[in-house]
Structure 1
């Protein structure tokens, strides 16, 4: 199967569940090619997802496994709307939160490839509001940064910009900067970024990994350097060329019926948290575009984006990045500073540097990330593999399903 047929296979599977399509159970596998996987062992993946649904710990989801660009699994499970008995479909639309970060990172690196800036350039050269930034001291007060805040710091989350926690937490709270969810705010990205720049950093630039708004600031950098709003740049330069037709910062009303409900585990019980009717994503075009957490997408769309990265920057004749740039993205930039179970962090996501580095099944060179809504992805260049699980579960309680699907995929790979 050629890369172009990847689009046809994913699109065909989605169409199989479209309104008016021939009757077909939403849970049925849409496109299967063993590609070195044991069909018997893959049943463990189905069983784990189905068990969570049967125990009402999950409403539903979509699972995608690609090898060599060919769908091994592209399957919908459960329901996207329990209350109205609407089954999950392979073209269901999801809030992808922090999985937005990879697209904003690619957008910035496309400009980097055009020679617009160097990664070691000071952020203040392009965003002057950061020229006089201070750093909060753990014991109180502030101090000057030891060195300028750089674009590389934004890309690696070593900019000292959190989602609130840290020695500047009180200042963040006073400014309304303690929630990653920026969708629906009544200010522009330029205005929001200037307000953030007036707050102290939570640590010295480059000192440690601090997860937070750094990619939102990177999105503003894309706007300034490109001269385009971030949503337009991403549509024209990334989602358009990759034919990611359902990936956007705003959901048109005609697609509202495909937006999955958000459920959460409260006291161990699955509870409805948000419906399309109550979603900020369909109130109108976004005023504040969040490059860190603002996109909607489908499993098929996001799988195409991941396949582009696996192909070292190209898909279906559309080259977004050079192989050398993708190699830079997927190299370890932080080492011991990365924190967590992964032993490395690249530009936009964790990277696995050595066998056993993730303390789970995997391969050296694999990379990935996830979302506050519970989706998770892994791209494994060594095995030529994409693993993607899409769902809407927030809060997720003690569930580890989003991580177990990776193990259950790897254990089924026998050749």
Structure 2
């Protein structure tokens, strides 16, 4: 009885946190309704009072090697997570999802839910291929740190040492995009600042420097060298090292530094030094033609409240490169099993199956908040999290509405892909969906916080 009351109390705490958007903004009434859609289900299941069966969704398929009845994940608690994901992918939800949870050297939950196509005819597969977008940034960070360990790059050396085009950076201090008032930057941008999004570049928003950034059409660059040259001609929005603003431009510059320091194209380096050695055979900047049938449709919410295919080039030509250049900020396709191997490497301190990718100190730096020098809130997402190298670091679980201990590390992709590494529990959680949120009142609720909390509840020790 006491255990049930404890779970009920925890469920109520989580419910209040679910009312807040993942990005920390104040919720609207419609947002509250959408976010709390699954709250009764969550509480009911936690108390053992709910059982979900969705006729329109195919039965979940289990991965090879999954240990559904392992003592690490009791069947009743597995049903809790399973029920939530079934409802999330019913006829009114996401097309489909893949969930993969790893704990203490074993896969303890692995399921595919729903469908991989808009017509809802092809059941989602465990090895379905997703555009993981910004989860690519964590892979790029590993590539950078490999070269740091080899002495070819240094985190705190100026970027100009590798990329001369950044020698004379200016800061926009007044005026407009058409008539900017500029001054010389007082300090040089460092590689660490690129990886921690503190380099001072303009990002999305209403700043005048952003208007200049948009006019430069960086994403139309033929390669990373051109991207870097175009960016270096633009003024910074603020002095380097004075604020955190998450954006992909900084990581594209870091990817270009990998090219110069290694003498290889970025995609070749990633393939030869990371993906190949880790046997991530279904991960890459494009998908072979004979495997493109495994790519999940990417959706947006239509004005009529029904899912439609996104109108971007990735939706029109699934499997093609997402940018003209190999984007270190968001260019990879991957699968849950593949990304698990990458996560296992990090969880193990940089090595997997006898293959050393990074040293333990580099992995520890990735998972350590690098933004302690900034006044809180240090990020625009939440005061409860900081940022390491290549991902966020959970500082205050209660403040974020998350269960578990501080120190959880992870990141997400723009099309609703998520991963989290919990060093204390020796656990990795991966949730892959393929939907681009538009923040409209009728859009699907974001489910990552609920997902992570259900995983934590399923593995209490």
Q: TM-score range, shorter-chain basis?
A: 0.7 to 0.9
In our comparison, the structure showing a higher alpha carbon Rg is 2
- Residue 193 of structure 1 deviates from its aligned partner by 1.3
Give the direction of change, closer, same or farther, for the CA distance of 1:284–1:53 in structure 2 (3 Å limit): closer
Match of 1:203 in 2: 238
- Residue 343 of structure 1 deviates from its aligned partner by 2.7
Where 1:168 maps in the other structure, the secondary structure is helix
2:353 is matched with which residue: 303, 308, 316? 316
Match of 2:297 in 1: 261
- Residue 387 of structure 1 deviates from its aligned partner by 0.5
Where 2:338 maps in the other structure, the secondary structure is helix
Give the direction of change, closer, same or farther, for the CA distance of 1:364–1:35 in structure 2 (3 Å limit): farther
Equivalent residues of 2:95, 2:120 under 8 A apart: no
The answer to whether 1:110 aligns with 2:146 is yes
Map residues 341-380 of structure 1 onto 2, 5 A cutoff: 341=382, 342-354=384-396, 356=398, 358-380=400-422
Where 1:344 maps in the other structure, the secondary structure is strand
1:246 is matched with which residue: 274, 279, 282? 282
The answer to whether 1:58 aligns with 2:91 is no
Deviations 1:234-290, CA, capped at 9 Å, x for gaps: 000000000000100011111110111001223432222269995455457974111
The answer to whether 1:401 aligns with 2:447 is yes
- Residue 332 of structure 1 deviates from its aligned partner by 0.9
Equivalent residues of 1:262, 1:274 under 8 A apart: no
Any gaps of 5 or more consecutive residues in structure 2?
A: 1-57
Give the direction of change, closer, same or farther, for the CA distance of 1:211–1:276 in structure 2 (3 Å limit): closer
The answer to whether 1:152 aligns with 2:219 is no
- Residue 382 of structure 1 deviates from its aligned partner by 0.1
Equivalent residues of 1:376, 1:403 under 8 A apart: no
Equivalent residues of 2:393, 2:407 under 8 A apart: yes
Give the direction of change, closer, same or farther, for the CA distance of 1:296–1:224 in structure 2 (3 Å limit): same
Equivalent residues of 1:100, 1:291 under 8 A apart: yes
Say what the alpha-carbon RMSD is for the aligned residues.
2.1
The 2-side partners of 1:199 and 1:211 are apart by 18
Equivalent residues of 1:246, 1:301 under 8 A apart: yes
Equivalent residues of 1:148, 1:205 under 8 A apart: yes
Match of 2:165 in 1: 129
Equivalent residues of 1:266, 1:395 under 8 A apart: no
Q: TM-score, normalised by structure 1?
A: 0.87
The 2-side partners of 1:123 and 1:314 are apart by 28
Give the direction of change, closer, same or farther, for the CA distance of 1:294–1:86 in structure 2 (3 Å limit): same
- Residue 137 of structure 1 deviates from its aligned partner by 2.1
Equivalent residues of 2:385, 2:395 under 8 A apart: yes
The 1-side partners of 2:322 and 2:436 are apart by 24
2:271 is matched with which residue: 231, 235, 249? 235
- Residue 395 of structure 1 deviates from its aligned partner by 2.4
- Residue 136 of structure 1 deviates from its aligned partner by 1.9
Where 1:356 maps in the other structure, the secondary structure is helix
Match of 1:216 in 2: 252
Give the direction of change, closer, same or farther, for the CA distance of 1:138–1:366 in structure 2 (3 Å limit): farther
The 1-side partners of 2:423 and 2:319 are apart by 37
Match of 1:88 in 2: 124
The answer to whether 1:172 aligns with 2:218 is no
The answer to whether 1:293 aligns with 2:330 is yes
Where 1:195 maps in the other structure, the secondary structure is helix
Q: Which moved more, 1:135-144 or 1:365-374?
A: 135-144
Where 2:100 maps in the other structure, the secondary structure is strand
Give the direction of change, closer, same or farther, for the CA distance of 1:276–1:197 in structure 2 (3 Å limit): closer
* Number of residues of Structure 1 aligned to a counterpart in Structure 2: 385
The 2-side partners of 1:71 and 1:26 are apart by 20
- Residue 393 of structure 1 deviates from its aligned partner by 0.5
- Residue 297 of structure 1 deviates from its aligned partner by 0.4
Q: TM-score, normalised by structure 2?
A: 0.79
Deviations 1:78-105, CA, capped at 9 Å, x for gaps: 0001326111101111001000000000
Equivalent residues of 2:89, 2:97 under 8 A apart: no
Any gaps of 5 or more consecutive residues in structure 1?
A: 1-24
